[in-house]
Amino acid sequence: MSNKEKVLALLDNVPEYKMGYILAYVQGITAEEAEDDAFCEQLRQQYENDPDKGETMTEEELCQELGIAL
C-alpha cells in the first residue's frame, strides 16, 4: 500500500470536525509546491528570453564593471 493509499484509508476514520485541519494542511503544502514551480518557471522564461544568454564574463571583467578590487 502506497503512502497516498494509507492517507486516504485513514481519512475514513477522521471525524468531520477535524477535516478542516487536514484540508488546511494539505492546501498549505501543495501551495508551496505550486509557488516553487511557478517561481522556477518564471526564472526559466527569463533565462530563455534574456538577450545576453550565453555571454560570459571573466571574474576580472565583472569586478571592473562593479568597481571592486580583485
pLDDT in tens, 12-43: 999 999 999 999 898 888 878 888 888 999 99
DSSP 18: G
pLDDT digits (tens, 9 = 90+) for 44-60: 999 999 888 888 989 99
Whether 22 contacts 11, CB under 8 Å: yes
Domains of the chain, by residue range, sit at 3-66
pTM over 0.75: no
CA distances from 11 to 4, 6, 23, 64 (A): 11, 9, 11, 61
Give the three-class secondary structure for 61. Answer: helix
